[in-house]
Structure 1
Amino acid sequence: MTTIAIVGAGPGLGAAVARRFGREGYDVALVARDRDRLEALAGELAAAGVTARGFAADVRDPSSLAAALGAAAKELGPVEVLQYSPVPQRDFMLPVLETTHTDLLGPVEFSVYGPVAAVQQVLPGMRALGRGTILLVNGGTAVVPHPERAGTSIAFAAESAYGHLLHDRLAPEGIHVAQLVIPGAIVPGHPRKDPAVLADTLWTLHRDRHGFRHYADDLYG
């Protein structure tokens, strides 16, 4: 079996996705900034029978992200599934009239440079396998911009455009690209936005390979 790499892996959605794909036999590469937390999460997954390893990287540093994904492929095997789902920083969410061009650097590094670097790193391996899945996870501002959250609204829109372009170009090669939009917060116990439910949704997107944009819940309501 091959590997799923979860960029932005944490104790909520990342851990749930790791368990879900692990049940299907995938090895799991956990990518995030905090090495100690990654090691702890990998240990929890190992206790549950999932082969997982932590690889520290900052998504705002494309070279470190590429290096982490390269190390993951070398240690665990080719990355067949890439999930890009880091949680944006609060200072990305300034009101639009208070947002300067320098305030957009972080969001663009986070939501554009990071995904592009990750995809470029894993794409050769997917092509060698003859299959692959790229899963982009975004908040509701990817679809409906919010005037109080200008940074994520702008950067998520750019990430969405990149993903859609990839979806169209890579489909003939057997590589599926999908976006899951999660309006609002991830909520334990919620019928559609509980981490385990979202992990099932992401597994279904990988398995069924249909369409680009999908919604975890209603945008309004």
Structure 2
Amino acid sequence: MTTIAIIGAGPGLGLTVARRFAREGFAVALVSRHQGRLDELAATLRSEGHTAEGFSANVRDQASLQNALVRATEALGPIEVLQYSPLPAKEFMRPVLETVADDLVGPVEFSIYGPVTAAHQVIPGMRALGRGTLLFVNGGSAVRPGPKVTGTSVAFAGESAYAQLLHEALADEGIHVGQLIIPFGIDDGAEAHSSESVAEKLWAMHSGRGEFRVYAEPLAD
């Protein structure tokens, strides 16, 4: 059995993706800052017959994130799929003219250093397996900067560039790298915006191994 590690796991999309991949035979490593919440989510998955554990980590702390992924591999088996989808903090989203250099430290640690740390931790294991998938989940500001969400716009652009470079560098090794752009609020009442619909797109990205960037919905003009 191989593992999907979901960084930024929560009771919405994270749990839904966990269920989708678990139905295909994956063990599930849930990663976020709060161990208690992770334990509850993992218990829910286990009650449904799935293999799951929670591993706390702060994505802005490289050693913490590395340790969580090591523990996940030791407990559940090699990580075949990594999903990086933690929710940015509200304080990252400041208007452009109010944003100073110090305001970008958190977003860059969160959306650039975190993904780089996670990718470097799991890629050797994927190479050993001979396959793997890295999935990066971002909002619309990753491709269309928003003047009221400067920190995430800047940091998501860096994450997007890094992920695309990985896509090109790893394609010949059987490791697929994809980015899903979600330009709406998940579970906002529209059927196409449901966690289940988004999770299905992420499964299709893993199983179909197509283009680098996928849009959950076209960006509005």
Does residue 45 (structure 1) correspond to residue 49 (structure 2)? The answer is no
Task: Please name the residue that 1:213 is paired with.
Answer: 213
Q: Output the TM-score relative to the length of structure 2.
A: 0.98
1:50 Cα deviation after fit: 1.2
Structure 1 counterpart SS, 2:29: strand
1:218 Cα deviation after fit: 2.0
**Matches of 1:212 and 1:191 in 2, distance apart?**
25
**Matches of 1:181 and 1:173 in 2, distance apart?**
25
Contact 2:184 2:193 in 1 (8 A): no
**Matches of 1:193 and 1:165 in 2, distance apart?**
29
**Matches of 2:188 and 2:130 in 1, distance apart?**
36
1:49 Cα deviation after fit: 1.2
**Matches of 1:188 and 1:13 in 2, distance apart?**
12
Structure 1 segments, 4+ long, off by >3 Å, are: none
Q: Which amino acid aligns with 1:114?
A: G
Contact 2:32 2:56 in 1 (8 A): yes
Contact 1:188 1:195 in 2 (8 A): no
Unaligned runs of 5+ in 1: none
Map 1:82-97 onto structure 2 (within 5 A).
82-97=82-97
Alignment length (residue pairs)? 221
Task: Please name the residue that 1:155 is paired with.
Answer: 155
Aligned-pair RMSD on alpha carbons? 0.8
1:67 Cα deviation after fit: 0.5
Q: Which amino acid aligns with 1:165?
A: L
Task: Please name the residue that 1:61 is paired with.
Answer: 61
**Matches of 2:139 and 2:130 in 1, distance apart?**
30
What percent of counterpart residues are identical?
A: 60
Task: Please name the residue that 2:121 is paired with.
Answer: 121
1:186 Cα deviation after fit: 0.9
**Matches of 2:160 and 2:137 in 1, distance apart?**
10
Structure 2 counterpart SS, 1:192: helix
1:189 Cα deviation after fit: 4.1
CA deviation profile, 1:63-96 (whole Å, cap 9, x unmatched): 1001000110011000000000000000000000
